[in-house]
């Protein structure tokens, strides 16, 4: 179903959203029949609890939805989304006010509750419709929901249907919709164009590696987004165990989130010069796979010793980052499902980020709660630079010892960003392990909305 608000012209029931402490006061204002009905039903205004109120003829005349206590709401990102799938089908409008700082988030969560990945079977949830509440920018919320659905669809699609070719087509479809320009450097042409590490990682796969380069906007600050597009990661010759390979269709989650963010930026018309770079590859096993102990020379001339072919994401990102930095963007961001160490550090809900720009960090930290997209800052800890310097080459793609894996990966990437005025890296998970209100199990957008919320302050828009 489209993630859009219901028409106000449709048959609409008023929906009263109540906290437990407010329930008695609301009931005191109702007629005896309504009071007795609610009391007999056992409705206590818990999160996810709903109740239809019958009119004199027995037909529904209104509905109630529980909003829970503040302590309960603190554990939920989208509280009202629990009611969206619990209410009887139909259209509803809010009959009482929600806090201003929650209205946009709850409206977005309601729309996202309607998402289901239905490419292979109908998985659309039974979700009630909502008339856009007064006080929100409905078109903006719908654009955020559509971008999130794009990201989830891309991540959820298995590599059999979402290889480098399909990822390129997704980028082309997005570019065509918003009249963006797109160029793709494919296969052995990567060597001629000086993208040796993208080529090395992807050359063993049946579908050729490629660099997708999309541009939109003619004026404003230069914003460059770089998304990891490893469409499947076997681990290469350092083959992953089966249990570790199970979710590797999501290893292009950085690219998916980058395209989702680009969708939001273009649909909302932000005054920026947007560039999106996606190295799209599969890390496969073949006779021409790159090997442990190989030394690769990156686009910017740095040499990299390969100590684990399963640390391939930073290699393809490095060439793309070096390329993007050559145009001296005002802000360059990389998004990648890069390290298991990041998940150990902060779990699946938080998106850790790294930056040396205090102004961007401040803008992002302020925006993330407002956009219902939590992030957490981790350090570019300079003393750990020695861990990524193997001696035989400039850099090591997989430092031994296992300590600070997310930090050393971020430090590796930073070596390829000289020229960018500001840089930040997001080590995302892009997967929802268990379903929650507004958050279906599976592919998931992470950090893109927080970034969108930070851009006006970070870029002076």
Tens of pLDDT, residues 308-335 = 999 999 999 999 999 999 999 999 999 9
Q: What is the CATH number of domain 142-459?
A: 3.40.630.10
Is 280 within 8 Å of 255 (Cβ atoms)? yes
Q: Helix or strand or coil: residue 384? A: helix
Half-sphere exposure of 339 (CA within 13 A, CB side): 28
Where are any strands of DSSP class E within 217-366?
222-227, 229-233, 273-283, 295-297, 303-305, 331-336, 351-355
Among the listed residues 177, 179, 181, 183, the one whose alpha carbon sits nearest the alpha carbon of residue 195: 183
Question: What is the per-residue pLDDT for 402?
Answer: 84
Among the listed residues 144, 103, 75, 76, the one whose alpha carbon sits nearest the alpha carbon of residue 17: 103
Per-residue pLDDT tens for 112-165? 999 999 999 999 999 999 999 999 999 999 999 999 999 999 999 999 999 999
Question: What is the per-residue pLDDT for 1?
Answer: 55
Among the listed residues 375, 449, 432, 456, the one whose alpha carbon sits nearest the alpha carbon of residue 104: 449
Residue the block writes with tokens 């309607």: 114
Question: What is the per-residue pLDDT for 300?
Answer: 98
Query: Pick the catalytic residue: 93, 222, 299, 314?
Result: 314
Among the listed residues 183, 186, 193, the one whose alpha carbon sits nearest the alpha carbon of residue 215: 183
Rounded Cα–Cα distance for residues 418 and 421 (Å):
8
181 φ/ψ angles, rounded to the nearest 5 degrees: -95, 145
Query: Pick the catalytic residue: 240, 343, 370, 457?
Result: 240
Q: Could you tell me the two tokens for 7? A: 């028409």
Question: What is the per-residue pLDDT for 260?
Answer: 98
Q: What is the mean pLDDT of the chain?
A: 97
Is 47 within 8 Å of 67 (Cβ atoms)? yes
Rounded Cα–Cα distance for residues 5 and 3 (Å):
7
Q: Write down the domain spans for the chain.
A: 12-136, 142-459
Rounded Cα–Cα distance for residues 421 and 91 (Å):
48
Residues in CB range of 150: below 8 A, 6 or more apart: 170, 174, 256, 259, 260, 263
Question: What is the per-residue pLDDT for 401?
Answer: 86
Is 368 within 8 Å of 350 (Cβ atoms)? no
DSSP 137-181: -HHHHHHHHHHHHHHHHHHHS-TTTSSHHHHHHHHHHHHHHTT-E
Is 318 within 8 Å of 299 (Cβ atoms)? yes
Rounded Cα–Cα distance for residues 100 and 104 (Å):
8
Half-sphere exposure of 236 (CA within 13 A, CB side): 24
Among the listed residues 449, 142, 459, 458, the one whose alpha carbon sits nearest the alpha carbon of residue 271: 459
Q: Residue 240 catalytic?
A: yes
Residue the block writes with tokens 């407002």: 370
67 φ/ψ angles, rounded to the nearest 5 degrees: -115, -5
Is 307 within 8 Å of 292 (Cβ atoms)? yes
The highest-level CATH class for domain 12-136 is: alpha beta
**Ranges in the chain, pLDDT < 50:** none
What are 426's strand-pairing partners? 335, 353
Dihedral angle over CA of 128, 132, 137, 141, nearest 10: 0
Rounded Cα–Cα distance for residues 246 and 188 (Å):
30
pLDDT > 90: what percent of the chain?
Answer: 96
Where are any strands of DSSP class E within 187-327?
210-216, 222-227, 229-233, 273-283, 295-297, 303-305
Pairing assessment for the beta strands 181-186 and 210-216 based on DSSP bridges: antiparallel
């Amino acid at each position: 179903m489209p993630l859009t608000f219901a028409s106000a012209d449709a048959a609409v029931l008023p929906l009263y959203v109540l906290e437990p402490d407010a329930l008695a006061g609301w009931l005191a204002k109702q007629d005896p029949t309504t009071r007795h009905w609610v009391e007999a039903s056992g409705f206590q205004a818990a999160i996810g609890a709903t109740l239809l109120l019958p009119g004199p003829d027995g037909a529904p005349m209104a509905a109630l939805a529980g909003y829970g206590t503040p302590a309960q709401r603190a554990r939920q990102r989208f509280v009202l989304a629990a009611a969206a799938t619990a209410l009887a089908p139909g259209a509803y409008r809010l009959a009482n006010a929600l806090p201003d700082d929650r209205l946009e988030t709850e409206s977005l969560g309601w729309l996202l509750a309607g998402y289901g990945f239905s490419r292979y079977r109908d998985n659309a949830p039974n979700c009630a419709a909502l008339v856009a509440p007064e006080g929100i920018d409905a078109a903006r919320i719908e654009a955020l929901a559509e971008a999130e659905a794009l990201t989830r669809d891309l991540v959820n699609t298995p590599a059999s249907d979402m290889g480098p070719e399909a990822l390129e087509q997704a980028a082309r479809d997005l570019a065509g919709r918003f009249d963006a320009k797109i160029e793709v450097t494919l296969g052995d042409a990567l060597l001629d164009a000086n993208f040796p590490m993208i080529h090395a990682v992807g050359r063993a796969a049946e579908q050729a590696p490629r660099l997708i380069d999309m541009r939109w906007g003619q004026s404003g600050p230069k914003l460059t987004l770089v998304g990891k597009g490893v469409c499947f990661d076997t681990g290469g010759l350092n083959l992953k165990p089966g249990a570790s390979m199970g979710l590797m269709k999501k290893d292009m989650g950085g690219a998916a989130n980058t395209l989702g963010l680009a969708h939001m930026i273009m649909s909302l018309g932000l005054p920026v010069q947007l560039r999106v770079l996606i190295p799209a590859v599969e890390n496969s096993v073949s006779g021409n796979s790159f090997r442990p102990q190989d030394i690769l020379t990156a686009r910017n001339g740095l040499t990299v010793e390969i100590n684990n072919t399963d640390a391939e994401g930073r290699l393809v990102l490095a060439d793309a980052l070096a390329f993007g930095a050559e145009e001296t963007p005002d802000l360059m961001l990389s998004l990648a499902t890069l390290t298991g160490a990041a998940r150990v550090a902060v779990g699946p809900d938080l998106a850790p980020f790294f930056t040396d720009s205090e102004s961007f960090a401040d803008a992002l930290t302020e925006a993330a709660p407002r956009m219902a997209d939590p992030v957490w800052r981790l350090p570019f800890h300079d003393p750990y630079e020695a861990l990524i310097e193997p001696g035989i080459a400039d850099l090591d793609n997989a430092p031994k010892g296992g300590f600070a894996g997310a930090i050393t990966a971020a430090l590796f990437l930073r070596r390829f960003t000289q020229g960018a005025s500001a840089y930040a890296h997001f080590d995302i998970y892009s997967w929802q392990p268990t379903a929650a209100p507004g958050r279906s199990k599976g592919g998931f957008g992470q950090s893109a909305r927080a970034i969108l919320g930070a851009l006006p302050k970070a870029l002076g828009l």
